[in-house]
Amino acid sequence: FFDQWSQKEIFKWKSNLKLTEARQKEAHQTRIDRTWENLDLSRFENGVLEIYTIAKRENAKLVLATHPAIYREDLTPEEDALTWLMAGYTFRSRRERLDKINAKIRQIGEMLSVPVVDLDRMLPRSTEVFYDDCHFNDNGAALVAEKFFEHFSKEAELTES
């Protein structure tokens, strides 16, 4: 892959990588511990309600899922180095924000009588599942598929009964 690149391109790539790593390291060292008591999720909720309306109109079954992430207070330095999303905030702050979003997803599911696959509560918050903050590695993708399969299998059993 590198043998197709000129020395100048390789230098530029390495320089950008070092700059990105430096910015990430700086963000990790100066984190803000924000609380999210005034987090406005109305646009998010309206978007989900619009999806629900479209699904109902098209006679499609809607299933919601919570958003899992690796965020926890006791991340190892190796796990910490993998994170980038909201890098300027403490993990407590990131977790709190995500918990509020997931609570909203659960609330909307209950309000609309739409099932929620609670991936955030089902999956380990570790590199067993994630390759960074919130993107699944191969094992994580397989676990997500398994959780959805379990959900739809139970639903099919209930329908057949």
Q: 89 forms bridges with which residues in the sheet?
A: 32
End-to-end CA distance of the chain: 57
Confidence of residue 14 (pLDDT cuts 50, 70, 90): low
Residue labelled with tokens 């070092």: 18
List Cβ neighbours of 68 (8 Å cut-off, separation of 6 or more).
119, 120, 122, 123, 125, 129, 130, 134
Confidence of residue 16 (pLDDT cuts 50, 70, 90): low
* pLDDT score at 11: 64
Residue 56 pLDDT exceeds 70: yes
Average pLDDT score over residue span 24-53: 87
- Helices 42-57, 91-112: axis angle to 10 degrees equals 40
Percent of the chain with pLDDT over 70: 81
Top-confidence residue, 98 or 23: 98
Q: 32 forms bridges with which residues in the sheet?
A: 89
96-105, pLDDT tens digit by residue?
Answer: 999 999 999 9
Give the Å distances, CA to CA, from 147 to 4, 49, 88, 144, 154: 43, 24, 32, 5, 11
